[in-house]
Amino acid sequence: MKIDYRVFFVVSLFILFDFITGLIKAWKAGTVNSTKMREGLINKIAEIATVVFGYFCEYALPIIGVDTDIKFGSIIACYITLMELFSIIENLGEVYPAIGKILSTVFEKFKEKNVAKDVETK
Closest CA to 93 of 107, 80, 81, 75: 107
pLDDT value for 9: 95
Task: Decide: residue 18, CB within 10 A, 0-12 exposed, 13-18 middle, 19+ buried.
Answer: buried
Q: What is the pLDDT of residues 39-70, one digit of tens each?
A: 999 999 999 999 999 999 999 999 999 988 89
Q: What is the pLDDT of residues 6-28, one digit of tens each?
A: 999 999 999 999 999 999 999 99
**CA-to-CA distance for 12 and 80, rounded, in angstroms?**
10
pTM of the full predicted structure?
A: 0.80
Domain ranges in the chain are: 6-121
For a pLDDT cut of 70, what percent of the chain falls above it?
92
